């Protein structure tokens, strides 16, 4: 059966741990894997702008000895899917040409349909619902910084979004607690929250909501922020910024967390909105470690999905 990463729901705790462990090996010994995917071709089908995702995947694919093909889903030079060809047909055609497909798009249903009808691994490189590759990189960064992360607490501060959802699912799979410090009228998706809480109960961790960011960050090891205005929400920017002004991660909020707490952000960031300049550019910020670790986590993921390394 073809394995995919549509979301972290495709991974058991053991799968998740295997990817992160392999990412640490790949990062430490990159030369050992430089021909691991030789003669393979991996397509990147993007409908959204990208810096970290595109560059990290293209570079990582090349470092594994494979060929990367960047495909846009719209515009004059884009794929026919941008002109109405079905995801059903696109999946079946691309399955005849390439060995895996990395997709960055809007609707989660696009990724799910490609996975349903294709015969190659499909990787969700970001949808409006999930950002699983970012969560893998985040956990790798936590392990590098803290060592054993079991029992640690990560607090996401801001409106519920795709990053929030993936972090809620990552916590139970990696052994840490997650608190979503979200306004009551901007929560994460209820179905994702319920599944994450079920997973947490089974794993002995917790996933909770707290509208008060100061209360939420008490004893937290990681304070996590994301842009308040996601792609497609530009018309709502002014209202969102006003509503979320009290959710900025600043030095006052960081001081309410654990003494060894660090700051995470998936980027791009907007200094002065979701995070102060003093925090994001300060000594507790690990944002560029996270960005680098996208490369290593995604290389590990591709090695496993394409059978170059065993899952167990």
Q: Which residues contact 303 (CB under 8 A, 6 or more apart)?
A: 22, 26, 33, 36, 37, 64, 309
Q: Is 191 exposed, middle or buried (0-12, 13-18, 19+ CB in 10 A)?
A: exposed
d(CA 142, CA 161): 21
Q: Which helix (H) or strand (E) holds 28?
A: helix 13-28
Q: How many other β-carbons are positioned within 10 Å of the β-carbon of residue 84?
A: 6
d(CA 27, CA 294): 11
DSSP output for 5-17: BSSGGG--HHHHH
Catalytic residues: 104, 131, 134, 226, 266, 294
d(CA 89, CA 95): 10
């Amino acid at each position: 059966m073809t394995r995919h990463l549509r979301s972290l729901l495709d991974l058991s705790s053991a799968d998740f741990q295997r990817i992160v462990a392999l990412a640490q090996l790949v990062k430490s010994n990159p030369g050992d894997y430089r021909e691991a995917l030789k003669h393979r071709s991996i397509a990147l089908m993007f409908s959204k702008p990208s810096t970290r995702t595109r560059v990290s995947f293209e570079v990582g694919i090349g470092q594994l000895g494979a060929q990367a093909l960047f495909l846009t889903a719209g515009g004059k030079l884009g794929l026919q899917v941008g002109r109405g060809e079905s995801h059903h047909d696109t999946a079946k055609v691309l399955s005849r040409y390439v060995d895996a497909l990395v997709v960055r798009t809007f609707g989660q249903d696009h990724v799910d349909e490609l996975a349903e009808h294709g015969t190659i691994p499909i990787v969700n490189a970001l949808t409006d619902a999930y950002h699983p590759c970012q969560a893998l990189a985040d956990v790798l960064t936590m392990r590098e910084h803290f060592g054993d992360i079991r029992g640690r607490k990560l607090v996401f501060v801001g409106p519920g979004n795709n990053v929030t959802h993936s972090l809620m699912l990552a916590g139970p799979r990696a052994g840490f607690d997650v608190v979503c410090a979200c306004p009551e009228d901007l929560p994460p998706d209820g179905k994702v929250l319920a599944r994450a809480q079920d997973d947490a109960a089974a794993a002995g961790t917790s996933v909770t909501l707290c509208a008060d960011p100061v209360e939420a960050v008490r004893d937290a090891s990681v304070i996590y922020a994301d842009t308040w205005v996601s792609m497609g929400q530009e018309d709502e920017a002014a209202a969102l910024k006003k509503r979320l002004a009290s959710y900025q991660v600043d030095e006052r909020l960081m001081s309410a967390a654990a003494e060894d707490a660090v700051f995470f952000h998936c980027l791009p960031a907007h200094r002065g909105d979701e995070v102060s300049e003093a925090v994001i550019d300060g000594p507790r910020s690990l944002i560029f470690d996270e960005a680098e670790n996208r490369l290593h986590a995604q290389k590990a993921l591709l090695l496993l999905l394409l059978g170059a390394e065993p899952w167990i």
